[in-house]
Amino acid sequence: MPTNPRVKAFSFGGCKFSGTSPKLSAFSPKTPMLNVFMSFEEALKLSLAVQECVRKLNSYNRSTIAGKRSGLNVAVHLQTSRITVNEAKL
């Protein structure tokens, strides 16, 4: 059994989405909103990724400036139809 568990360095995970509304080909700077569709299984993956990141953020001391600036980033990769969850500094 390893003594040093492997630590994620970039992402808490993510999922694949099935489609968007409007279609990506119709997406423009004037588009007011983008709907993202995914299956139930992919939604579970996204939920787990968000929960893992929130648990990590909860471990920080919120009375410090660094703790208050910690946050969550949801990255939507339009070209690959993927969503990833990452830690962010606000």
Within a 10 A sphere around the Cβ of 22, how many other Cβ atoms? 12
Given a cut of 60, whether residue 47 has pLDDT beyond it is yes
Of residues 8 and 76, more confidently modeled: 76
Given a cut of 90, whether residue 19 has pLDDT beyond it is yes
**pLDDT of amino acid 3:** 55
Given a cut of 60, whether residue 1 has pLDDT beyond it is no
Q: What is the DSSP string of the chain?
A: --SS----SS-S-EEE--EEES-GGG--TT----EEE--HHHHHHHHHHHHHHHHHHHTS-TTSHHHHHEEEEEEEETTTTEEEEEEEE-
Task: Write down the domain spans for the chain.
Answer: 14-89
Confidence class for position 6, pLDDT limits 50, 70, 90: low
